[in-house]
């Protein structure tokens, strides 16, 4: 049965390829891309030579391969959506797009995919577009090797770099996104992959998840964004080997987990953030082999979280390792490395012989009275923390690592 299906698919694609033509757009050929699309047949390839093309809104309404030679420029003149994809199996490859329209009512984009399957957006440069690449009701679409740059100073004047809404099986691979409201935005997006992207200097989030389940993001860098990464109201999220770096500011964090569950994170690095990870209303999350270093707070975990398993993580050179807002602890913190641990290992089993309490009294005071940060590094705060370790009173007794590692996890 499978062999017959394979043969039928091969015959289908062979017929399509055999019937495909090549159409050229340029000075000595067809003058406009719009005309080329009009005369093209299904699965034709359209080569566009280098030049400036002001096509107003370019609508692709049939499956074609639209390829730019030497990055031809498509200019929306700040009035139009530049490319609207309204057919399945379209590829847009190798263009430079600039100056889409901006609106508070209409979501104009550099490239927008309207309810279609198997669309590929690859090797493009998008500058000064409202939304960069916008996917609505897309399935099996690929957005790869694109550079998206915006320059707006206010969130209201900027859309998201890569925006996906009510879509499934989307691949976001090796894109660079900066200067947008959110670098990458997912809402009601399932079974999708975000891999090897660099999202930096965006106004709000480097990555924003909303109601998006069973998605995976791997080896991405989120750096210098307004508030880092936000993962909200989702489950089945998998996070591997990402870098969250230099997300500084009041209320900023490397990543926010809000009302997410049944998720997994491994091998991530949280470096130089105001807060590395902030968890609120999260449950059943397994977090292991991650590194927290040089953050203000490595981890803020609210009392509303439960069944969070943190093990084999490194906590290095953070101002505060862990902060919480209550005494109820329903989470597991065992077998992590804490550089502030002052215990000993007499039996040489590589675990500390006494538990480590990562929540300091001073961090609890700051959580309730932020102005107390003015006393940071003062003698009185050191004295309070030392006293609290001997006679715990304010810090949650159950929030402790019973088997702290003596050496960092490699």
Mean pLDDT of 305-323: 94
Q: Residue 42: left (phi > 0), alpha (psi -120 to 50), or beta?
A: beta
- What is the dihedral sign for C-alpha 146, 147, 151, 156? positive
- Identify whether the C-beta of residue 355 lies closer than 8 Å to the C-beta of residue 334: no
Residue count (the chain): 410
Q: Which residue has the tokens 């069944």?
A: 307
**382 Cβ contact partners less than 8 Å away, ≥ 6 residues apart:** none
Q: What is the pLDDT of residues 242-254, one digit of tens each?
A: 999 999 887 789 9
Asked whether residue 327 carries a pLDDT value surpassing 90, the answer given is: no
| Cα distance between residue 83 and residue 59, in whole Å | 6
Helix (H, G, I), strand (E, B) or coil at 365: helix
Mean pLDDT of 49-75: 97
Domain boundaries along the sequence of the chain: 235-359+395-410
**Helix, strand, coil share (%) of the chain residues, nearest 5:** 15, 40, 50
**1: confidence class by pLDDT, cuts 50, 70, 90:** very low
Question: pLDDT at position 28, please?
Answer: 87
Question: pLDDT at position 222, please?
Answer: 97
Q: Which residues of 274-301 are buried (b: 16+ CB within 10 A; e: fewer)?
A: bbbbbbbebbebebbbbbbbbbbbbbbb
Q: What is the pLDDT of residues 14-26, one digit of tens each?
A: 445 456 799 999 9
Q: Which range is least confidently modeled, 190-194, 292-296, 330-334?
A: 330-334
The number of angstroms, rounded, from the C-alpha of 134 to the middle of its chain's C-alpha atoms is: 15
Angle between helices 361-368 and 379-390 (to 10 degrees): 120
**157 Cβ contact partners less than 8 Å away, ≥ 6 residues apart:** 102
Q: What is the pLDDT of residues 139-177, one digit of tens each?
A: 999 999 999 999 988 887 899 999 999 999 999 999 999
| Cα distance between residue 297 and residue 247, in whole Å | 12
Asked whether residue 64 carries a pLDDT value surpassing 50, the answer given is: yes
pTM: 0.89
Q: Which residue has the tokens 């609508």?
A: 59
- Identify whether the C-beta of residue 252 lies closer than 8 Å to the C-beta of residue 274: yes
* Both structure tokens of 356: 């480590």
Asked whether residue 6 carries a pLDDT value surpassing 50, the answer given is: no
| Cα distance between residue 240 and residue 217, in whole Å | 7
**135: confidence class by pLDDT, cuts 50, 70, 90:** very high
Higher per-residue confidence, 186 vs 7: 186
Question: pLDDT at position 4, please?
Answer: 52
Write down the mean pLDDT value for the chain.
Answer: 89
Question: pLDDT at position 383, please?
Answer: 62
Q: What percentage of residues in the chain have a pLDDT greater than 90?
A: 75
- Residue 257's beta-bridge partner residues? 231, 279
């Amino acid at each position: 049965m499978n062999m017959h299906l394979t043969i039928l698919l091969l015959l289908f694609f062979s017929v399509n390829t055999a019937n495909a033509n090549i159409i050229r757009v340029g000075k000595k050929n067809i003058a406009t891309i719009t005309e080329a699309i009009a005369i093209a047949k299904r699965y034709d390839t359209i080569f566009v030579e280098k030049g400036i093309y002001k096509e107003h809104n370019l609508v692709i309404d049939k499956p074609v391969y639209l390829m730019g030679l030497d990055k031809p420029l498509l200019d929306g003149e700040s009035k139009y959506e530049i490319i609207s994809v309204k057919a399945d199996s379209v590829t847009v490859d190798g263009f430079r797009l600039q100056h889409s329209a901006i609106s508070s009512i209409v979501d104009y984009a550099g490239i927008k995919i309207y309810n279609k399957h198997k669309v590929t957006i690859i090797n493009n440069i998008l500058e000064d577009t409202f939304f960069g690449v916008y996917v609505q009701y897309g399935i099996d679409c690929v957005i790869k090797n694109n550079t998206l740059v915006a320059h707006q100073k206010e969130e209201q004047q900027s859309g998201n770099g890569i925006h996906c809404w009510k879509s499934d099986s989307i691949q976001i691979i090796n894109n660079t996104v900066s200067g947008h409201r959110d670098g990458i935005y997912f809402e009601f997006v399932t079974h999708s992959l975000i891999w090897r992207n660099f999202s930096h200097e965006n106004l709000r989030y480097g990555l924003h998840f909303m109601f998006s389940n069973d998605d995976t993001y791997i080896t991405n860098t989120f750096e210098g964004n307004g508030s880092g990464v936000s993962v909200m109201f989702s489950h089945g999220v998998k996070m591997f080997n990402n870098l969250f770096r230099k997300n500084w500011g009041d209320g900023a964090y490397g990543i926010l987990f809000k009302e997410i569950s049944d998720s997994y994170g491994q091998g991530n690095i949280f470096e130089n953030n105001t807060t590395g990870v902030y968890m609120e209303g999260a449950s059943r999350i397994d977090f292991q082999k991650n590194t927290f270093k040089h953050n203000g707070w490595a981890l803020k975990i609210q009392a509303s979280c439960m069944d969070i398993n943190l093990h084999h993580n490194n906590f290095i050179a953070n101002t505060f390792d862990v902060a919480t807002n209550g005494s109820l602890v329903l989470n597991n913190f065992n077998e992590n490395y804490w550089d502030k641990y002052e215990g000993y290992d007499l039996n040489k089993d590589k675990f500390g012989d006494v538990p480590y309490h990562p929540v300091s009294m001073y961090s609890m005071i700051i959580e309730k009275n932020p102005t107390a940060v003015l006393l940071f590094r003062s003698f009185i705060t050191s004295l309070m923390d030392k006293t609290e370790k001997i006679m715990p009173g304010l810090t949650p007794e159950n929030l402790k690592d019973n088997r702290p590692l003596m050496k960092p996890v490699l």
